[in-house]
Structure 1
Amino acid sequence: MNRLKPVRIVLTASLLSFVLFSANVSAATYKVVKNDTLYKISKLFKTPVTTIKKTNNLKSDSIKPGQKLTVSSKIYTVKQGDTLNNIAKTNGISLASLRKANCKWNNTLAVGQKLILPGVKSTTTASNTTASTVSYKAAVSARAVESASKSAVIPYTKAEKDLLARLITAEATGQPYNAMVAIGGVVINRVQSKDWPDTITDVIYDVPGGFYQFTPVKNGFINKPASSIAIKAAGEALLGADPSKGAMFYFDDSSTNKWLWSKPLTARYGKMVFVK
């Protein structure tokens, strides 16, 4: 697990400007940053690479930092009471995608502020938006029904349980069972906290300020199949078992990270250390 920087900074390297063409049609001007590729940008905005190339008159897949690309995307105007989480949910996108598209690593919003909604097309009509919102609410209800039937402490889907189990597999294979359940507990503690995203998926894939919170997400080990014991541990954590005792972070005891070691210790199992 990677440490969270004490202060979430805004990365000035990635700047987004907005051009409003009409009430229903808008575009985002995205400034390419280091390590960007057309493929990554196409995945973020859910737009084919060929479309991006055609829109920007690109003759090859080569792009460079500082280059500006126009990508079709809906623009949202922040209203009173809005939060990043609510905006992401209402529009059916992940919090991580919303943050990345807008280089928005803190939670501060201002009424009237413009935000790019990556993957939400600018031609979306009011009726389609309403349908999307209804679909999202139905999905939330389905999540609640599934978790309630199992007395879970948070709503979740089968895919999210598998994702949690894969994280546990990558982080704690060979460690005591309590350590595995405790890792699930840390993720759930974050979901329940107002300081973190509010779904298992968004917590695990959270990259505030460009800092990965979980090493397996960064190195790709999160994509390996979950072990049967990790699936069992994930299930126990979802039912409320928390050997981490309220921890928000965990790390291997070989870590030399002074920031992590300075935090209040809640539990230790094998090589795994849990802190608040």
Structure 2
Amino acid sequence: MNKFKKLIVAAGLMLSISSFTLTNQTEAATTYTVKSGQTYWKISTGFGIPLNSLMSANNSKPLIAGQNITLPNSPISAADKDLMARLVRAEAVGEPYAGKVAVAVVILNRVKSDQFPNSVRGVIYQISNGYYAFTPVANGEINKPADAESKRAVNEAIALMGKGGGSLFFYNPDTSTNSWILSRPVTTRIGNHVFAR
């Protein structure tokens, strides 16, 4: 009788462990219920998920209000999104929204480039030739909270990952005194900023 009780307890324990494992596997996948009028683009920019990743995770199937879709994890952490948004606010205050998105895109492009550190934090706090890469880091402006528009611009830049002209730099031609930056190939001009490779 003792062996039978041990067998039942062991079987119960195994069943509990396997159901716990299955529960954790299903909780790992994030689902989202599509609302009326939403598109992949709206969802992507709302959550800061690359559009390509979102569409791929859902086999690019048409979206219907009320259906559940899979939200892949964002490649950028919440802390890094906040850091990017604070830099965008400081660098692009007074610039058009598209210029704010472009500043965030530069940060992401630098993370992907082998010419720069491979993390958002590393790119933003990079020191080269004794100077910070971004003025707001040196003057403390990066420590001020980000506004809603800068946060939205960061999410849109993340949604655009893998697209664009590959800008790695930006500058204001009216105030820049660096002849090297002026020699870089221009990708676009938005507001007071020139974006370059």
TM-score interval (norm. to shorter): 0.5 to 0.7
Question: For residue 157 of structure 1, what is the amino acid of its counterpart?
Answer: S
- Find the counterpart in structure 1 of residue 134 from structure 2: 214
SS in 2 for 1:151: coil
**1:258 aligned to 2:156?**
no
Q: Highest relative contact order (Cα 8 Å, sep 6+), 1 or 2?
A: 2
Alpha-carbon spacing, 1:242–1:184, altered in 2? closer, same or farther (3 Å): farther
Gaps of 5+ in 2: 1-29, 31-43, 54-73
Distance in 2 (CA, whole Å) between partners of 1:188 and 1:253 is 22
SS in 2 for 1:260: helix
**1:168 aligned to 2:66?**
no
1:240-251 to structure 2, matched below 5 A, reads 240=160, 245-251=165-171
Structure 1 residue 195 displacement after superposition: 1.7
Question: For residue 49 of structure 2, what is the amino acid of its counterpart?
Answer: S
Distance in 2 (CA, whole Å) between partners of 1:263 and 1:150 is 29
Structure 1 residue 244 displacement after superposition: 6.4
- Find the counterpart in structure 2 of residue 159 from structure 1: 79
TM-score, normalization by structure 1: 0.44
Alpha-carbon spacing, 1:243–1:251, altered in 2? closer, same or farther (3 Å): farther
Task: Provide Cα deviations, 1:120-172, integer angstroms capped at 9, x if missing partner.
Answer: xxxxxxxxxxxxxxxxxxxxxxxxx9x9x853377221111010000000011
Distance in 1 (CA, whole Å) between partners of 2:162 and 2:147 is 20
Gaps of 5+ in 1: 1-144
Question: For residue 151 of structure 2, what is the amino acid of its counterpart?
Answer: I
SS in 1 for 2:76: coil
Distance in 1 (CA, whole Å) between partners of 2:162 and 2:102 is 6
% same residue: 42
Structure 1 residue 269 displacement after superposition: 0.6
Task: Provide Cα deviations, 1:52-77, integer angstroms capped at 9, x if missing partner.
Answer: xxxxxxxxxxxxxxxxxxxxxxxxxx
SS in 2 for 1:197: coil
Q: Count residues in correspondence.
A: 130
Task: Provide Cα deviations, 1:168-198, integer angstroms capped at 9, x if missing partner.
Answer: 0001111111110000000000101112111
Q: Give the alignment's Cα RMSD to 1 decimal.
A: 2.3
